[in-house]
Amino acid sequence: MAGVERTLQRVDLGEIDYLDAIDAMAGWAAERRAGTAGNRLFLLSHPPVITYGQRTDPADLRRGLHEIPLVAVDRGGYATYHGPGQLVGYLIMDIRGQGAADVVRWLEDGLVSALRLLGFSTQRRATPPGASSLVGVWTPDHRKVASIGMRIRGGITSHGFALNIDPDLHAFEQFTVCGLPDVTMTSLRELAEQTGTPLPTDAAVRDAVTTALTESPHSGHETSSDIEV
């Protein structure tokens, strides 16, 4: 990675309660800041939970939330769902000297590349001036397959992405996803059924994401930001 330590250590975890992961993430970020650990990518999943960032309109959380826990978080962005069948990636990296927006583009491009390795055609989308953020990974017909929400403090990133492999897509109907009232969420399972592409295993997705993110460069100037999308 241009301007950033190229090594990204992958740490494979299983299903972890969301609040437990948030507590652990604070420690991971502190270790990176102190230099006692390198750049790390934590890959895991969560039990069902709806999380919402600092930009979320309370009206976005209005529908049927009694069935799924609801948690406010310190990342950028709006509301999203985590649950079984979804790969969550938390990136704890030192990006001092890099641009916050550049890091998000790097992550988008890396996920697009990972899905290409798995046989899926996806893209990132530019957000028009004044429009709601379109950060994330999308199909060519504008369905969203991965969401991104990051926090950058003192040049250290936390939080990251959620990639839908085979989650319960009905869970996304209980709230306004990512602040986009008309967004349609999709999954690799759905795309595989529509295109005849084999559905990759969780292990294969983890391998593809790791490969893509360790080969995709980025550059820029760091700022403290909460970024979603």
What is the per-residue pLDDT across 66-94, written as a single tens digit (0 to 9) for each? Answer: 688 889 887 767 888 999 999 999 999 99
Alpha-carbon distance values, 103 to 44, 56, 213 (Å):
21, 22, 11
Annotated active-site residue 178? The verdict is yes
Q: For the CA atoms of 117, 41, 184, 59, what is the dihedral angle to 10 degrees?
A: -170
Is the confidence at residue 1, as pLDDT, over 50? Answer: no
> CA geometry: angle at 182 spanning 64 and 168, to 5°?
50
Domains of the chain are 9-228 (3.30.930.10)
pTM: 0.89
**Structure tokens belonging to residue 99:** 């641009």
Lowest mean pLDDT among 59-68, 80-89, 185-194: 59-68
Residue 94 pairs with which residues in a beta bridge? 156
* Rounded Cα gap, residues 223 and 33, in angstroms: 15
What is the per-residue pLDDT across 115-152, written as a single tens digit (0 to 9) for each? Answer: 999 999 999 988 767 666 788 999 999 999 999 988 89
- The rounded Cα 145 to chain-centroid distance in angstroms is 10
Average pLDDT over residues 197-201: 96
**Structure tokens belonging to residue 163:** 């990639």
Backbone torsions φ then ψ of 34, nearest 5 degrees: -80, -10
3-state secondary structure (DSSP) of residue 140: coil
The DSSP 8-state label assigned to residue 119 in this structure reads T
* Rounded Cα gap, residues 16 and 215, in angstroms: 28
Q: How confident is the model at residue 43 (pLDDT cuts 50, 70, 90)?
A: very high
3-state secondary structure (DSSP) of residue 204: helix
Q: Considering 25, 178, 227, 229, which one is annotated as catalytic?
A: 178
Alpha-carbon distance values, 3 to 18, 103, 109, 217 (Å):
32, 12, 17, 9
